[in-house]
Amino acid sequence: MKKLLLFSFFCIGMHLHAYTEKDLLQKTTDISRLKEVLVMQQQWVPYPAYADRKGWDELFGDTKGFFIQQGVDRLNYEWKVVKATDYLEFERGGNRRVMEDPFGSNNQAIADLFMAELAEGKGRFIDPLINGVYQACEMTSWALSAHLGREQISGRSLPDNKKPVIDLTSGDLSSMLAWVYYYFKPSFDQVNPVIAERLRTELQERTMDAFMHDDSFWWMAFNYQPGMMVNNWNPWCNFNVLQTFFLLENDPDILAQAVYRTMVSVDQFINYTHTDGACEEGPSYWGHAAGKMYDYLQILYDGTGGKISIFDQPMIKAMGEYIAYSYVGDGWVVNFADASAKGGGGADLIFRYGKAVDSRVMKQYAAYQKQLTRQLPVSSGKDVFRTLQTLLYREELANETADYTPPLYTWYPETEFCYLTHANGFFLAAKGGYNNESHNHNDIGTFSLYLNKTPLFIDAGVGTYTRQTFSSERYSIWTMQSDYHNVPMINGVAQAFGAAYKATDVRFQPGRKTFSANIATAYPKEAHVKEWIRSYTLERNGVKIEDSFSLDQTKEPNQVNFLTWGKVELTKAGEFTVEAGGQKVKLIYDKEVFDPVVETITLDDARLSNVWGEAVYRVSLYAKQMKRKGKYSFLIQTTK
C-alpha cells in the first residue's frame, strides 16, 4: 500500500511557514446559530448518572475492580504541600520536577478517587475527595513553575494572586474538577454546601473568567503575527477550557460566546498546521497536539449534538493518520525534534480519532497496538475525559480487525518528512524543514535508519526538561545540536537556530526511492557554504548517502557525523559496523577521504537511558583534505 500526498512521479517540498487562514471551525457557524444548536444542561454527557449503578457496571465491565483498587490505595493519601521554595527552585537551579512531582501526585490522587467512586458508588471515597478538592482550592495557582514566568506580571516562577494563569496543568486540573463538580455536587452538599460553592467559584475565576476576559495567553494566538508559533498548547488548553464551560455553564448566551471563542483560538492551531497533516513535534507529542485537537473536536461535536463538526475535512484525517504512518515496529516510531523514539498516541485515542474521521488505517492500527499490549482499557491518568471515552469505546475497539502494515513510502511535502521502506528490511526516515519548528532541534537533512524494526542510526530525542530546555540556553544541550544528528559540520560550523535556517530545493522521487535537500541554507554565513545537497536513496543492497557540496572558501576540515545505537566497531579502513538488537549493518566510506573517530556518549538522564540504555555513539568522519567543491558517498549495507 502506498501513501502519497502529491503526484507520484516527482515531488518538491514547500514548507516555508505553514500558516494559512483556513478557519475551518469558524466557517461552520456563527454565534447565533451556535447558540441554537448547543445541548444545554449537560444533556450531552454520554455517561450514566452517578446513581445509575447498572449503567456504571456495564461501562466499567471487567475494569471495575481495577478502578476501585486505585481509589482504595488513595484512601489514606497524605496530601502534599507544594512549598514556595519548590516553585523558586525552577529559577535557582533549573529543576522543574521538585514542584511538579508533588503537584502531579495530588492531582493523580484526585483522579483515582473520582473514578473509584464512580465505579463503586457507595460514598466511601467522598471524604478523601473533598480533602483533595479543598487542598487544590487553597493553592494560589494551578500552573507549573516553569510556565508562570511567561504569563505573570512579575515574570517570576513563584505564583502570585494578581492574574489567574491558564497553562497545561491548570487546564487539566480545571477540567477534572469540573467533572468532580458535575458528578459529586449533591454528595458534597450533603456534607457541607460550602465545598461545592468554593469549587465552583474557583473554576469560574481561574478558568472561565480568565479565558473570557484575558487575551494575553500566548497559546490563544488571537493576535497571530507572521512567524509566531502555535503548538500543542493551543488545542490542549482550549480542550480543557471547553470541558469546563460545557460542564458548568448553563446560560446559553455566555456558553455560546465561550464556545465560539475556543473555536476561533483552535482555528489558529489548524491554520498553523501544514495541510499534509504531519506533526512537526513528533509522535510522542501527537497525543497532545493532533490528539488533543481531536478531543476538543469530539466534545464540541457532542456539545452541539453533532451539528458543529469538521471531521470530514481531509486535513483533519491526515493529522490523525500521521501517527500510524510514523510507526516502524516493535514499539519504535520515527522521531525528530524532542520526540522520543518510543511511544506516541495510545491505542484507545487513535481508535476514537479514527472512528470520528472514518479512517480504516487508524482503527486497524489502534487494534494492532491494543493487541500488542493486551492490556485492559484502564486509566488515562489525570485526563478524566480520555478515561471515560476509553471505557465508552472499549468494546468497539476490541472487535476491530488488528491489521497494520507500513506503507512503501510516506511523503509530507509541506512538513518535508519522508519515510521509505524496502523488502530488504530497511526503514529510512529523512527530513528537511526549518530550524524553528515546535520543540526544534537543529537537524535539517538528518535521517534515522532501522533494520527489521531495530533502530541503528538514530535521533536521540530529548532529556529531562529543565529551565535550560526552553530558554536561551537550549542549544547548549547536546541533543539539540546538529553536531549530534546525522548531518555534517561544514568548515567546522554547525547548523544555526532560527526560521531562516532551513532546507531548500527539497525533492522526493518515489520511483527512485530518493529524498534530497540543499541543507546549505541551514548553516550560518560563517560556514561559507554555497550549496550542500544531501541525498538518500534506498536501494536493494542498502542505503546510499551522498553529499555534493560547493564552498566559498575552506577554513577547517568538514566533519560528517553519524549518531548510532548499539555496538560500534571500526572493523577496517573505510568501514565501520553498528550492531543492536540482533541487527548489524556496515557503513562504507572512502578511506582515502576520511579519518574516523568514535565518541561514546554516556546517558545519565533517565528520559534518554530509558529508551537507549547506558550509551549511544557518534561516529565522526573527518575529511583529510579541504576542498571547495566535492562529493562524498556512503553506503550502508547489511553484513553477511
Of 336, 328, 331, 334, give the one whose Cα is nearest residue 347.
Answer: 331
All structural domains of the chain, each given as residue ranges with its CATH number in brackets, are: 47-214 (no CATH), 416-638 (2.70.98.70)
Check if the beta carbon of residue 425 is closer than 8 Å to that of residue 451: yes
b/e per residue, 372-406, with b = 16+ CB within 10 A? Answer: eeeeebebbebbbbbbbbbbebbeebeebebebeb
- Identity of residue 8: S
What the block records as the C-alpha cell of 499 is 526560521
Measured CA angle at 548 (ends 543, 553), to 5 deg = 145
Look at residue 343 in the predicted model and tell me its pLDDT. 84
pLDDT band per the 50, 70, 90 thresholds, residue 377: low
Check if the beta carbon of residue 285 is closer than 8 Å to that of residue 234: no
Instruction: Taking residues 446-458, report their average pLDDT.
Output: 97
pLDDT band per the 50, 70, 90 thresholds, residue 589: very high
Q: What is the pLDDT of residues 215-232, one digit of tens each?
A: 999 999 998 998 888 999
Measured CA angle at 186 (ends 66, 143), to 5 deg = 65
Q: What is the pLDDT of residues 502-512, one digit of tens each?
A: 999 999 999 99
Q: What percent of the chain has pLDDT over 70?
A: 97
Q: What is the pLDDT of residues 160-209, one digit of tens each?
A: 989 999 999 999 999 999 999 999 999 999 999 999 999 999 999 999 99
Of 224, 339, 240, give the one whose Cα is nearest residue 293.
Answer: 240
Instruction: Taking residues 265-277, report their average pLDDT.
Output: 96
Q: What CA dihedral angle connects 588, 591, 595 and 601, to 10 degrees? A: 10
- Identity of residue 137: C
Check if the beta carbon of residue 421 is closer than 8 Å to that of residue 430: no
Q: Determine the length of the chain.
A: 640
Check if the beta carbon of residue 263 is closer than 8 Å to that of residue 33: no
Of 217, 208, 393, 219, give the one whose Cα is nearest residue 298.
Answer: 393
Phi and psi, residue 223, nearest 5°: -110, 50
**CA distance linking residue 196 with residue 33, whole number of Å:** 33
Classify burial at 440, counting beta carbons within 10 Å of its beta carbon; exposed 0-12, middle 13-18, buried 19 or more: buried
**CA distance linking residue 469 with residue 475, whole number of Å:** 8
Asked if pLDDT for residue 15 goes beyond 70, the answer is no
Look at residue 211 in the predicted model and tell me its pLDDT. 98
Say which DSSP state 532 is in: E
- The helix/strand/coil state of 111 is helix
Q: What is the pLDDT of residues 295-332, one digit of tens each?
A: 999 999 999 999 999 999 999 999 999 999 999 999 99
Q: What is the number of H-type helices and E-type strands within the chain?
A: 19, 22
Compute CA distances 451 → 60, 327, 419, 565, whole Å: 41, 14, 13, 12
Look at residue 344 in the predicted model and tell me its pLDDT. 83
What the block records as the C-alpha cell of 279 is 506533526
Asked if pLDDT for residue 6 goes beyond 50, the answer is no
- Identity of residue 232: N
**CA distance linking residue 537 with residue 409, whole number of Å:** 12
**CA distance linking residue 180 with residue 116, whole number of Å:** 12
Look at residue 379 in the predicted model and tell me its pLDDT. 75
Look at residue 478 in the predicted model and tell me its pLDDT. 96
pLDDT band per the 50, 70, 90 thresholds, residue 19: confident
Q: Which segment, 75-79, 334-338, 537-541, is predicted with the most confidence on average?
A: 75-79
**CA distance linking residue 257 with residue 260, whole number of Å:** 5
Q: What CA dihedral angle connects 90, 96, 101 and 106, to 10 degrees? A: 60
Look at residue 373 in the predicted model and tell me its pLDDT. 76
Instruction: Taking residues 45-49, report their average pLDDT.
Output: 98
Asked if pLDDT for residue 49 goes beyond 50, the answer is yes
Check if the beta carbon of residue 112 is closer than 8 Å to that of residue 68: no
How many beta carbons lie within 10 A of that of residue 305, not counting itself? 12
**CA distance linking residue 181 with residue 397, whole number of Å:** 30
